[in-house]
Amino acid sequence: MAIDWSDNIVIANLADEPALSDELSMICERVEATGENDPIPHAVMDFHEVSYVNSSNIAQLLRLRKNLEARERQLVLAGVSDEVMSVLVVTGLNKVFQFAPDMLTAIASIQIAEPGAEGV
């Protein structure tokens, strides 16, 4: 379930299918339903419980990334297992997504990159 970690960061603790597809769909719909001038949060996806991804999951992640980047927001994948990372490497998507070793590092990377975050 995705939760608002702060005003500008939403985090999602993901699990294997079918929960993975459901969670990614809910987050994509949330981003797409936000008005053009409404604030939209950055997204951190916690993959530490995900042991595999399929083509549908990859498509959902790409869709989410595209929608977030169009609004100048970041998508960070945290805690990606070796199995999932190997799929992303084979598909070349390891160069498309931003990764962090864990949730705290992912959140910190977003906070540091935010305008006005000096001294954080």
Q: Confirm if 21 and 117 have CB atoms less than 8 A apart.
A: no
Helix (H) or strand (E) holding 29: helix 19-33
Q: Is residue 119 part of a domain?
A: no
| pLDDT, mean of residues 69-94 | 96
Give residue 90's domain range: 2-31+41-113
The CATH number that applies at residue 89 is 3.30.750.24
Q: Is residue 36 part of a domain?
A: no
The domain tally of the chain equals: 1
The helix/strand/coil state of 33 is helix
Q: How confident is the model at residue 116 (pLDDT cuts 50, 70, 90)?
A: low
Q: How confident is the model at residue 2 (pLDDT cuts 50, 70, 90)?
A: low
Model confidence, pTM: 0.89
